[in-house]
Structure 1
Amino acid sequence: MARPRFSNHPTGVHSLPVELLTRIFVLGAGFDYPYSLSPFLLKPDQDYHPSPCSNFQILVSHVCSHWRRIALRTSSLWTTLHFREPSHISRAQAYLIRCMTTGTHLLDILVDTVAQEDHLPGVTLCKDEIRDVFEVIIPHVKRWRAFHLKIRDNECKGQARHYLGSCGPAPRLETLQLYHFEDYQTPQNLYLATYRPPVIVFDNSLPHLKNVSLIGVNLPWAKSPYLKNLHNLELALHSDNIRPPYESWERMLRMSPDLQSLCLHYSGPRAGTGDPSLKWSSTEEVVLMKDLQHLSLTDLDPDYLCNLMRRVSLPALTKISLDLPEQDFTPFIELITSSTLRGDDTLSCSDTLSGPPLCRCAIPSLPKLEVLIIGALECSPESWYGLLQTLEGLRVLEADFSRVGRRFWDVLVGKRGSISGICRVRDERGRDYSEKDQSSPLLPHLQTFKVSGITGVSIISEILRRRGLATSGDDLRWVVGWNERRRGKDLVLDELVDVGCRVESRGGQGWNIVQVETFDEGEEEEEEEEEGEECLSQESIVNEKVDVEEGL
């Protein structure tokens, strides 16, 4: 019998076809894709941190000469230009050479600068470096797909105004995020930084723009025709005098019928005053956002928020994020959970002269909401219970109970006496909330519960309670705020994280272990008090009624 012949051809990863290696490189560079959750990289209250795989293309190009030739010829690997250090300027120049071979790939650009007092020469970007950054990227403005710019210094802002105001159209730009916010120290510095009106950017020619995020930056609202056909809109950190007039605000929403997410962080339309141009429309002129799925609300005044919600209808909403501390938001919670509206909120039925009044709710789809994220919320326990009771279809709840109060937890878990006047709380069918109602848990279809600020004992108690009351075969996924720095502070929570919770299997046929996942909720911020020195934030100086206009 003849022996099998062995091939002399090389085997292993080096023998893979070029096409397959190219595909692997592209997939690797796309792992931890930064736009998977949001089109916006910068957050109003967080620093930007690049994903661990952001340098994947560099790593594979340094493995061997064969891989390097393949990587350098794969133009799509070199289209992400992030500037956070001076060395990134020369890196971007090399990237642009590598991705110019075809000229068809679009560019995603981030420019992250720091304030002058935080600048470390050779380490961070500030006024001397931002000019070089723009000189590199402006010649390629027609290939920009995403542009994120963070400015923390007035001189950097001046450079940005110059380049974005003179660069010409950006015909392929889909995502525009402009961030400018700084501690001005004195009212005089604030005036010098904000007295100039906003500039027109990109010659007002952004035909493919879909995502807009303005953090501390305003635009010439009435002269920005590209603010339409948006999919995602974020406005953040705007004092009232630089917010868009209600007419411009309403036009943005009405001309963006496919809007999918709306995030307001201390922003929104400018409050109505005696000026007729700032007058809000009546509550009968409702803006229908038929495709809006995600609504995020942070640091808004309760009355302002209620007035805003009375003028919108969000029938497709599936996700709400709330970070509303320090004031009483009970009226807002009652507004969105009420099944009938009174007074100005009742619309006459237009289909018949004799029919009953047509009831309008801002969020008619609330019972079908799938995701609720509570960063902070101040409201009465009764209104909190009413909200939870309305959310019959909720699948995911994320809540930081260190910022909403222990009493909210007691309401959620059905603890007796957690609601004052408990018998007067009724659901939409008119039934009283009584002890027998507690046999069925609130949020019966919950699948993921992400919680922080709760002790291990309380979490175990709720795991066991819901396990005993569960009617479906799906187990609840528990995710708790915890990290190694907290080990030893709550021994029960430590053990829960390490080994899970032992529960009796359904039907009493043995025991199961409910595993608990963790997330790092970050270190608690320590308050620092500086004696003899007063640092004035933008908001505090605005409260001194410095009448200025701010713009990029």
Structure 2
Amino acid sequence: MSFTECIALALFDWHHSTFRLPVIKQSMHPDGSLTLRRRNALDRFPNELLSTIFFFAIERHDEPNTLTISPTTISHICHRWRQVALATGNLWTNIVLTFPTSSEQLTRTLTWLSRSKTYPLDILLDFRDPEWDWEGEETHGFRWADMEAVLRLLLPSAARWRTFELLTDTWAPIFVFLLRTQKLNVLEHLEKLHLARCNAYFARKGQLFEPTALGQHLPLFDEEAAVPRLREVTLTGVHIAWSAPPLANLTTLELKYQAADVMPTVTQFAQILSRCPNLEVLAIVGRGPQLTTNEEVPASAGGSAEAAVARALRGTIKLRGVTQFIFGFVDVNYAIQLLSLFDLPSLRDLNLEDVSASLRHQPPDDAGQLFDWITATPCDSPLDVDDSVNALSTSLGPFPLAQLHTLALHSIHAPLSAFVRLYQACTGIEDLRLCEVADCAMEALETAAGSKLPLEVCSTSRADALPRLQTLFVRAANEHLFSRVVRTRGSDLDASFEASTLTEYTDDNY
């Protein structure tokens, strides 16, 4: 039922009820005379209906001081509206603190926490400084003591947290949060948790965690914490004690932009996933679990330790419910070894990104090996990969490519033949997104009839690439090539082109 329908039904019930407010209202003039005026429609609304309208009218998830309609604004309209607003606890549940913090922000937070009564809270703490020079954590304006002050206000209401999002530039505030919440054991309302140290630098190949003095793995809440409703967890640049985290029954798990040396082992990672049988969305951006630790399989004579681990554990992480997989890599060989662990029989949406290209710290990897492995079959093993990768590519691959509905490729560079082979395997794709990719990605889309592909690529048995394609989005690529592909594919294709490219990371990256 829509909001409009709810209001209409409420008004209908009110109109046909036996109780009525007076239809006229008296007002006293300074000279002592009385004037009777008819009540307007809002005056006749019952408090319960007025409260519902207030709830749907307020804006959320922004800085409260800049909102057009906020609970504070409503409470300052008139005496009656103020009474109703102060009595409506769920108007005051959206707690937002931003950098730079001030005494006014902290006072407002304390007031809203009191007015929210016993309702679950949605908390956003955004302490990123757009003017920070990235030269050193000690130069940042939001420090350890500032986070302590914020937590002193929020921790008494922890049992009411419903969503909790903490965004910082540096590690110290995250460390303080983990340190001060490690004894929390009652979080019965918490549904969504997002902790982000928004510094993609740590995803770089070979980069280790800094500052080393604060690198210990702190627990996420109490080991025995009751978090029965937690379903979505995003850890961006944030590591925890992976051995016993309260991560169970999740539907979404995202691990992004982590330093390699603080990630969980394969065994710890598999244990976390095994406790989430209903997982639907999995994102690994930058680096996944460590494949070379003392607890894992030693290297064989013919390959690396990572390859030996991947061979031993190939296909052991079966995620039956995952329909969307987001994977960003900085090393193609590691990517193949990691992906070999998964079995994703229900996958529908696949997002692949070469993160190293986005970080601009090295030339983009040749993803041809990755595509060759993804599309390999037991009798069709790629010949142009090294032995450690080739040993893995004799499996069916982790993804049921023919049943994919959506494919997104970001900053991917590979030979034309690799894109052709990928598209041939993804026969069910209806939605394709290409962002900052090599021209080959679009050239491979041309139909067999209008193709300019070399003869060795266009075999006689080759069907048109992505025959079910309905929607194509391309960003920051060759516009003339895009136009040619659209003309070749025909008028049934819903195609759009965006010339601009992201020059810096936005909130969506974190």
Question: TM-score, normalized by length of structure 1?
Answer: 0.67
1:109-508 to structure 2, matched below 5 A, reads 109-114=123-128, 118=132, 125-180=142-197, 193-204=212-223, 205-208=225-228, 209-224=230-245, 226-273=246-293, 276=296, 282-284=312-314, 286-324=316-354, 325=357, 326-340=364-378, 360-364=396-400, 366-400=401-435, 403-414=436-447, 416-419=451-454, 421-424=456-459, 432-433=461-462, 440=464, 442-454=465-477, 458-468=481-491, 470=492, 476-481=493-498
Deviation at 1:444, TM superposition (A): 3.5
> Retained in 2: the 8 A contact 1:229–1:259?
yes
Deviation at 1:181, TM superposition (A): 5.6
> Retained in 2: the 8 A contact 1:399–1:450?
yes
Give the RMSD, CA atoms, in angstroms: 3.7
Work out the CA distance in 2 between the residues paired with 1:478 and 1:49: 36
Deviation at 1:69, TM superposition (A): 3.3
Deviation at 1:423, TM superposition (A): 3.6
Work out the CA distance in 1 between the residues paired with 2:471 and 2:70: 32
Partner of 2:14: none
Work out the CA distance in 2 between the residues paired with 1:211 and 1:367: 28
Structure 1 residues 289 and 416, CA gap change in structure 2 (3 angstroms) = same
> Retained in 1: the 8 A contact 2:411–2:438?
no
Q: 1:394 corresponds to which letter in structure 2?
A: I
Structure 1 residues 49 and 338, CA gap change in structure 2 (3 angstroms) = farther
Deviation at 1:227, TM superposition (A): 2.6
- Aligned match for 1:74, one of 73, 82, 88: 88
> Retained in 2: the 8 A contact 1:169–1:202?
no
Unmatched 5+ stretches in structure 2: 1-22, 25-36, 134-139, 203-207, 299-308, 358-363, 382-389, 506-510
Deviation at 1:201, TM superposition (A): 3.4
Deviation at 1:160, TM superposition (A): 2.4
CA offsets 1:455-482 (integer angstroms, 9 cap, x no match): 66555554444445x4xxxxx4443326
Work out the CA distance in 1 between the residues paired with 2:106 and 2:404: 45
CA offsets 1:200-219 (integer angstroms, 9 cap, x no match): 23212143232222222212
Query: Which segment drifts farther, 260-269 or 227-236?
Result: 227-236
Structure 1 residues 16 and 410, CA gap change in structure 2 (3 angstroms) = farther
Deviation at 1:177, TM superposition (A): 2.2
Q: 2:234 corresponds to which letter in structure 1?
A: S
Work out the CA distance in 2 between the residues paired with 1:390 and 1:346: 15
Work out the CA distance in 1 between the residues paired with 2:455 and 2:76: 66
Structure 1 residues 262 and 9, CA gap change in structure 2 (3 angstroms) = same
Deviation at 1:334, TM superposition (A): 2.2
SS of the equivalent of 1:389 reads helix
> Retained in 1: the 8 A contact 2:196–2:235?
yes
SS of the equivalent of 1:207 reads coil
Work out the CA distance in 1 between the residues paired with 2:392 and 2:132: 50
Q: 2:473 corresponds to which letter in structure 1?
A: K
Q: 1:69 corresponds to which letter in structure 2?
A: Q
Q: Percent identity?
A: 21
CA offsets 1:331-365 (integer angstroms, 9 cap, x no match): 22222223446686699xxxxxxxxxxx744112x
Query: Which segment drifts farther, 442-451 or 264-273?
Result: 442-451
1:34-73 to structure 2, matched below 5 A, reads 56-73=70-87
> Retained in 1: the 8 A contact 2:414–2:438?
no
> Retained in 2: the 8 A contact 1:247–1:280?
no
SS of the equivalent of 1:23 reads helix
Q: 1:146 corresponds to which letter in structure 2?
A: T
Q: 1:444 corresponds to which letter in structure 2?
A: P
CA offsets 1:466-514 (integer angstroms, 9 cap, x no match): 445x4xxxxx4443326xxxxxxxxxxxxxxxxxxxxxxxxxxxxxxxx
Work out the CA distance in 2 between the residues paired with 1:146 and 1:58: 22
CA offsets 1:426-460 (integer angstroms, 9 cap, x no match): xxxxx533xxx5xx5x3333333222224665555
Structure 1 residues 64 and 323, CA gap change in structure 2 (3 angstroms) = farther
CA offsets 1:263-298 (integer angstroms, 9 cap, x no match): 111121102255548955724552211110111111
Work out the CA distance in 2 between the residues paired with 1:455 and 1:377: 14
> Retained in 1: the 8 A contact 2:220–2:241?
no
> Retained in 2: the 8 A contact 1:369–1:394?
yes
Work out the CA distance in 1 between the residues paired with 2:89 and 2:197: 32
> Retained in 1: the 8 A contact 2:209–2:215?
no
Deviation at 1:196, TM superposition (A): 4.7
Work out the CA distance in 2 between the residues paired with 1:305 and 1:21: 55
- Aligned pairs, how many? 425
SS of the equivalent of 1:321 reads strand
SS of the equivalent of 1:377 reads coil
SS of the equivalent of 1:178 reads strand
CA offsets 1:196-251 (integer angstroms, 9 cap, x no match): 52222321214323222222221221233x23322111112222221101110111
SS of the equivalent of 1:421 reads coil
Work out the CA distance in 2 between the residues paired with 1:449 and 1:28: 36
Q: 1:223 corresponds to which letter in structure 2?
A: A
Structure 1 residues 264 and 423, CA gap change in structure 2 (3 angstroms) = same
Structure 1 residues 369 and 63, CA gap change in structure 2 (3 angstroms) = farther
- Aligned match for 2:105, one of 76, 85, 88: 88
Structure 1 residues 384 and 281, CA gap change in structure 2 (3 angstroms) = closer
> Retained in 1: the 8 A contact 2:89–2:115?
yes
Query: Which segment drifts farther, 88-97 or 189-198?
Result: 189-198
Unmatched 5+ stretches in structure 1: 1-5, 35-47, 348-358, 425-430, 471-475, 483-520, 527-552
Specify which structure has the bigger relative contact order, considering alpha-carbon pairs within 8 angstroms and separated by 6 or more residues: 1
SS of the equivalent of 2:292 reads coil
Structure 1 residues 149 and 410, CA gap change in structure 2 (3 angstroms) = same
Work out the CA distance in 2 between the residues paired with 1:344 and 1:450: 35
Structure 1 residues 399 and 459, CA gap change in structure 2 (3 angstroms) = same
